[in-house]
Amino acid sequence: MSQPANQIGRALRGITRRAVRLAARGLERVEGAVAGTGDPTAIPLLLAPSLPTTAVDSYWAEHTVRSTPFRSARASLAYLRRRSREYPLFEDLMELYGHHEHDTVLDYGCGPGNDLVGFLVLGHAHHVIGVDISRKALELARRRLALHRIDGERATLVQMGDGDPTIPLEDASIDYLYCEGVLHHTSDPAGVLGEFHRILKPGTNASIMVYNRDSLYYHLYTAYQRQTLEGAFAGLSTDEAFRRNTDGEECPIARAYRPGTFLAECERAGFGATYVGGYFADLELRLFRTLGDRATADHRLPAEHRDFLNELEVGADGYPRYRGQFAGVGGVYQLVNQPA
């Protein structure tokens, strides 16, 4: 390792020496004080000055989710509550936010900091590391944490790129990993899962959400409302229509996984994995109430989608299930990092 790399490595380890050491990978710290002052620069932000750029990097640099800054900590927390109402079962299936008083938590694909706030303020995590490819998102997260007067010893933000799945953290350095709505957008999800296995301590857990193919969003909203009724995405497969119908038509990658497919990916990476169901977007439930019966009787809708809708069963809680699992777009997997 070169002398500059050694110096960077020492600087990074100094930032979070009581929580986790970051590997020296050419990251540069954006300087600032380390204290809970309400100043965004109190939160260490580590940037990679030279990254291979993919279409995923370019897109998400310009399309940061929830990019309007909050004006207060109260508004920040109110948004978390509103998000949970808009996505029924989200908190339950993702097991938010738990108790992490002694844990170092990694939020992979942290965006503008929703769940960084959740783990730090509501889950009382000892230290949270937020990783994202977007400098804009990380700056928004930094400002968000400052609203909550988070001490710089409790949080670190790190930029990395889509072109290299390597996470700049040391082996077995993370106690809990959270990744919500990110892996289905990456160029190398298998590589990222392998990195998750490397950096998690043996026997620890991860909660991951990827888009669910066995969902109302895929079969009723995309295939029926958009493709059949509206005539959108003419000539495209439902997989391709789904990509264009989730995070913007130009989003380069947006996969919808069958549970068995994603479980196999997790197991190949070394995890014990359980699929716990798909949380819903409000849109899915509204369409199910208004269009569900019509769609199953409409023979313009290909048989695959009608068969899915016909198999749905509504529980006493009012939520539709497919083969026993909630049929929402947010497919949630609980992982255990099995020792090699």
For 193-250, write each residue's pLDDT tens digit.
Answer: 999 999 999 999 999 999 999 999 999 999 999 999 999 999 999 999 999 999 999 9
DSSP secondary structure of 250-311: T-S----B-HHHHHHHHHHTTEEEEEEEEEPPHHHHHHHHHHHHHHHH-TTS-HHHHHHHHH
For 167-190, write each residue's pLDDT tens digit.
Answer: 999 999 999 999 999 999 999 999
**Using 50, 70 and 90 to split pLDDT, how confident is the model at 33?**
very low
C-beta separation of 143 from 168 below 8 A: no
Mean pLDDT of 54-76: 88
What percent of the chain has a predicted confidence (pLDDT) above 90?
A: 81
Look at 291 and 50; give whichever has higher pLDDT: 291
pTM recorded for the entire structure = 0.90
Pair of tokens at residue 137: 């998102």
What's the CA gap between 277 and 180, in Å, rounded? 14
- Which residues does 166 contact at the CB level (< 8 Å), separation at least 6? 25, 160, 195
pLDDT of residue 134: 93
Mean pLDDT of 65-82: 88
Mean pLDDT of 255-271: 97
Q: Is the pLDDT of residue 19 over 80?
A: no
C-beta separation of 109 from 134 below 8 A: no
* Longest distance between any two alpha carbons in the chain, whole Å: 69
DSSP secondary structure of 78-126: HHHHHHHHHSTTHHHHHT-S---TT-EEEEET-TTSHHHHIIIIIS--S
**Using 50, 70 and 90 to split pLDDT, how confident is the model at 74?**
very high
- Which residues does 85 contact at the CB level (< 8 Å), separation at least 6? none
| CA distance to 46, 116, 126, 205, 340, per residue, from 336 (Å) | 28, 21, 21, 5, 12
C-beta separation of 336 from 202 below 8 A: no
Domains annotated for the chain, with CATH where assigned, are: 3-164 (3.40.50), 216-254+281-330 (no CATH)
For 155-168, write each residue's pLDDT tens digit.
Answer: 999 999 999 999 99
pLDDT of residue 52: 67
pLDDT of residue 230: 98
**Using 50, 70 and 90 to split pLDDT, how confident is the model at 47?**
confident
As a whole number, the mean pLDDT across the chain is 89
Q: Is the pLDDT of residue 142 over 50?
A: yes
C-beta separation of 68 from 76 below 8 A: no
What's the CA gap between 71 and 314, in Å, rounded? 41
pLDDT of residue 18: 45
pLDDT of residue 34: 42
Q: Is the pLDDT of residue 323 over 70?
A: yes
pLDDT of residue 64: 79
Taken in order 166, 169, 172, 175, the sign of the CA dihedral is: negative
Nearest residue to 151 (alpha-carbon basis) of 47, 18, 23 = 18
Question: How far is the first Cα of the chain from the last one, in angstroms, to the nearest whole number?
Answer: 28
Pair of tokens at residue 142: 């930094």
For the ranges 27-31, 44-48, 87-91, 96-100, the one whose mean pLDDT is highest: 87-91
Q: Is the pLDDT of residue 27 over 70?
A: no
Look at 34 and 113; give whichever has higher pLDDT: 113
pLDDT of residue 69: 85
pLDDT of residue 239: 97
